Amino acid sequence: MKKIIYILSATVVLLGGCKKSEFVGNDPTGEGLVDFTLIAPASGTILVLNAATPNAPVTISWNAARPGLITAPTYKFVAALKNGGNLNSPLIEIDVPGSATTLTITQKQLDDALKAKSIADGATTEFIWSVKATNPSLSILSTSIFNITITRMKDGASPFILLGPVPTTTPMEINPVSTTDQIKFNWTKSKPATGGPAVTYKVLFTNNNNFSTPLFSMTSANNGLDSLLIVTTKQMSDSLAVHGYADLSLQADLKWTVVATSGTWKQQADYINALSILRQIKFYLVGNITGWDINNPWEIITDKKADRYGKIFYTYIKMNAGDEFKFFKIKGDWGSGYGNNGASGAGFSTGYNIGGNFQIGANGIYRLTLDVENNMAYIQQKQVGIVGGMQGWNPTTPIYGGYAGRDKFIIVTNSAVNDEFKLHDGSAGSPWTFGIKDDRWWGDAGGGNLDYDGNGGNLNAGSTRVRTIWNGTNTQQVKYEKSPAVEMRVVGNGMQGVPDWNPGASPQMTYSGNGIWTITLTLVANKEIKFLAGNDWGAFDYEDNSGGSQATGTPRPIKWDGGGNFITPTTSGSYTITLNEHTQTVTIN
């Protein structure tokens, strides 16, 4: 937690007494004194006295005046009105004990001194102040003169601290549509000045450390009288949505504090707490494909379309005949499952903690959909492809590519440079329609994000062959990657007659359609290669996902999101390499 100070200076000035000073001047004679300077509070300090903390210290300090011979001087603090006042005839003065160069009194003593000069409660007055040094031979006034503005006590509230939520580096994940899930903010109580108005509280939130104009605020419980605020996660999400965080996929990194008010006094908590919020609704899949581990389920995609958020969840997954599964609302809770409660129309009826397992009838890639609002589930053979200018914008025949893993597809297709397209899981009989059991399609939302069902713009091919990746592994925001697929090179130190690791001088593979590239090369045994879709580093590339296999004639799995290089066979010789982007394999024969 970051400590803050509400009083505007950590050191303040004592203004007290009423004895008239007689100054000899700054010309040293006899014993002598040398001019000295003031230290704190700095000139321009604004000090507001808190009636609820009368014993809080007020401190001023200065450098010592060096004596001419041996006698240390004594000091007196002096202050005068900034407008029309004169430090040679000060309004207020007070002796400093001994030869100390620091004077400390309480806020109450300072307030009493101001009151004695008929300054009204709560009034703000501008002063000039300095210090006089005196020894047996003379007195000199420091040539340093500082300004200070002081507001007398009227109302007040004592300091207090925040209790929770405590700061953490882990974001708080909340359900943005729940009216039962809650966030609890609490803090220690602040006390008003004796006889002062009751203290009320507001919780302030900001994303830029500026609490004078917070992002938004909330009044504490009991009309502001309690040192507690309980808000539903929906209330918090709604507040974020209207204050710059309408995109639910964005993490809100906030700071929060509390201000206590008693009459005209506002006392900010001694600390500021960090609070990061992720607004997420989650559902999970558990089955034999996941190992039936309820504590490590597979999270599925949240439909972010506005009227379906929190109601519809889905996933694309490759399954085999006989596979069984259930949907689950809560990780670790077998009682939160949605099972098969019987066929109903085109789907299956389901509900919270009812029904048996769903079972797959045939091998394939499936879209599994859960409709929580209507207690329906849909088990359909579907996958994501491309619909656009390169295939006549026909949603009944998308160009499909390869299944690269759960909720991830890659499609390599020929195109015209200016062809536009969308990603689509359409099928015959339901072109450009969207119902829970019908087609889904996605447009460009910018920044690599995809929008849903007609929202967002078209994607542009940008080249005569384009590689597009549909990626739903971030279950809160479906994304895409797009890159030119006009060339693929073999780069490394494992090719005879080819410069080591030189993309521009490396051989290009031949594209034969459907994501397949081939080339015949003389490979050097036990060396390394990789595949690069361009003539320089930074282009899309493929790494090994086989764990270092050197097998020939057997497809090795590949990956594009980081990994080791491919190891050439154990025997040097001529080999034909086939890279299949749709099956995500490479085979060396």
pLDDT band (50, 70, 90) for residue 170: confident
Is the model more confident about 304 or about 382? 382
Residues contacting 203, CB < 8 A, separation 6+:
185, 217, 218, 219, 220, 229, 256, 257, 258
pLDDT higher than threshold 70 for residue 139: yes
pLDDT higher than threshold 50 for residue 4: no
pLDDT band (50, 70, 90) for residue 18: very low
Can you tell me the distance from the alpha carbon of 208 to that of 589, in angstroms, rounded to the nearest whole number? Answer: 59
Is the model more confident about 130 or about 178? 130
Average of pLDDT values for 126-132? 96
pLDDT tens figures, 75-101:
999 999 999 999 999 999 989 998 999
Q: Which amino acid is at 329?
A: K
Can you tell me the distance from the alpha carbon of 274 to that of 94, in angstroms, rounded to the nearest whole number? Answer: 45
Average of pLDDT values for 108-122? 94
Backbone angles phi, psi at 505, to 5 degrees: -105, 10
Nearest to 321 by CA among 365, 367, 362: 362
Chosen CATH of 385-484 out of 1.10.10, 3.40.50, 1.10.3470, 2.60.40: 2.60.40
Percent over 90 (pLDDT), the chain: 80
pLDDT score for 3:
38
Q: In what order do the strands lie in the sheet with 347-349?
A: 301-302, 312-319, 364-371, 376-381, 347-349, 343-344
pLDDT score for 68:
60
CATH architecture of 2-151: Sandwich (2.60)
10 Å Cβ neighbour count for 457?
Answer: 12
Average of pLDDT values for 197-204? 98
pLDDT score for 386:
96
Can you tell me the distance from the alpha carbon of 401 to that of 384, in angstroms, rounded to the nearest whole number? Answer: 8
Copy the structure tokens of residue 62.
């200065």
pLDDT score for 430:
55
pLDDT tens figures, 277-293:
998 889 999 999 999 99
The answer to whether residues 426 and 439 touch, using CB atoms and an 8 Å cutoff, is yes
pLDDT tens figures, 207-243:
998 999 999 999 999 999 999 999 999 999 999 999 9
Of 1-5, 217-221, 314-318, the least confident = 1-5
385-484 has the same fold as 162-279: yes
Residues contacting 89, CB < 8 A, separation 6+:
20, 21, 80
C-alpha angle 440-442-448 in degrees, rounded to nearest 5: 145
pLDDT score for 456:
82
CATH architecture of 284-381: Sandwich (2.60)
Kindly write down the DSSP assignment for every residue of 154-174, as one continuous string.
SS-B----EEESPP-SSPEEE
The half-sphere exposure of 77 on its side-chain side, counting CA atoms within 13 A, is: 30
pLDDT tens figures, 365-387:
999 999 999 999 999 999 999 99
End-to-end Cα spacing for the chain: 62
Average of pLDDT values for 338-342? 95
Mention the CATH class of domain 162-279.
Answer: mainly beta
Residue 101: DSSP 8-state: S
Nearest to 402 by CA among 562, 589, 566, 557: 557
Can you tell me the distance from the alpha carbon of 165 to that of 231, in angstroms, rounded to the nearest whole number? Answer: 12
pLDDT score for 292:
97
Chosen CATH of 489-588 out of 3.20.20.70, 3.40.50.300, 2.60.40.3620, 3.40.50.1360: 2.60.40.3620
Q: Which amino acid is at 447?
A: G
The answer to whether residues 131 and 38 touch, using CB atoms and an 8 Å cutoff, is yes
Ramachandran bin of 587, using left for φ above 0, alpha for ψ from -120 to 50, beta for the remaining angles? beta
Is the model more confident about 30 or about 12? 30
pLDDT higher than threshold 70 for residue 316: yes
pLDDT score for 250:
81
Global pTM value: 0.68
The half-sphere exposure of 101 on its side-chain side, counting CA atoms within 13 A, is: 13
Average of pLDDT values for 378-402? 94
Average of pLDDT values for 452-473? 91
Of 38-47, 251-260, 297-306, the least confident = 297-306
Percent over 70 (pLDDT), the chain: 92
Backbone angles phi, psi at 334, to 5 degrees: -65, -25
Is the model more confident about 436 or about 534? 534
Q: Count how many residues are written for the chain.
A: 589
What mean pLDDT is reported for the chain?
91
Residue ranges per structural domain of the chain = 2-151, 162-279, 284-381, 385-484, 489-588
pLDDT score for 138:
87
pLDDT higher than threshold 80 for residue 35: yes
